Amino acid sequence: MFFEGSEKKIEVVFQDSLESLRQQPTSTWETLVEKSGAKILSKISNDKMDAYLLSESSLFVYDHYLVMITCGTTRLVHAVQYLVQTFSRESIKAFFYERKNELLPRAQATDFFSDLKILKQWFDGQSLRYGLEDEHHLFLFYDAKNFVPEKTDRTMEILMHGIDPDIIKWFSGNKTEDREQWRNKTGVSDIVRGNIDDFIFEPMGYSLNSIEDSKYFTIHITPEAEGSYTSFETNAFDQAEQKQWAEKVLQVFKPRSFDIMLFNDDVMGTPQFDGYQLKREFKDRIEAGYCTQYFT
């Protein structure tokens, strides 16, 4: 049975006047995740955030900010509805929703446009598509009229297709060897920092969260024989470091093709990667204050 690796993602910034999200009982986050169709597997924490590893991707909870990523046939908009009902629309300062194109879109319960109809019940935002409709592309919807991000607020997403078969085999089936040694052999240890929480799924699949201070790394691997997919995301680097780290990630997974989505405070020069040819580049400085760039 085919598993869709392409993900949906929300970023939600709450008003500073709201009590810290981290004071919420665990049941709040369990219900949030269950509303999307996923479950919490484990949790790690530091003094800045709580990172939850999910059956379908990840959830990161800060005092007044959260990031939630889901894959498969999850319905992330149902989790958004729960957030609004639990915390109120007025408590939300900024909202972002991303959805990447799927390999088998007809297997999904919804598409971006039906998600949009639901989201517009609460958010009066704008939507964009990065990439051409008949190629790799990513949709973004956001409502952040009165939001000013900090200059250090940056995110890099690397969305990889057709992972090298020699790499994929490492992420299929139960691995009984020491997990740290296994991460060293696969190269995963070279592309994350901090405290690591990971899970190998049966019969295949892998997810990882890693946190260091306020920075997170997350990796999700769907090692399908046809249509393998891996995502890597972090908020840890400035523009100068982003390209260097992207090169390290590509060296580990050796994808046939990939997309990069960036949220920065300024435009990055067009990156070049050995062995790959840039097909298209899209960029837009959105109302929320981010300079967004999508390379495919």
The number of C-alpha atoms within 13 Å of 73 and in the hemisphere containing its C-beta is: 9
Q: How far apart are CA 294 and CA 39, in angstroms?
A: 30
Q: Catalytic positions, please?
A: 4, 7, 57, 71, 207, 220
Q: 200 to each of 62, 138, 168, 233, how far by Cα in Å?
A: 26, 27, 12, 18
Peptide bond into 203 cis (omega under 30): yes
Closest to 166 measured CA to CA, from 59, 276, 283, 252: 252
Provide DSSP, the chain.
-------EEEEEEE-TTSPPGGGS-HHHHHHHHHHHT--EEEEEE-SS-EEEEETTEEEEE-SSEEEEEE-TT--HHHHHHHHHHHH-GGGEEEEEEEEEPPSSGGGSS--HHHHHHHHTTT---EEEEES-TTSS-EEEEEE-TT----TT--EEEEEEES--HHHHGGGBS---S-HHHHHHHHTGGGG--SEEEEEEPSSB-EEEEEEETTEEEEEEEE--SSS-EEEEEES---HHHHHHHHHHHHHHH--SEEEEEEEESSPPPPP--TT-----EEEEE-TTS-EEEEE-
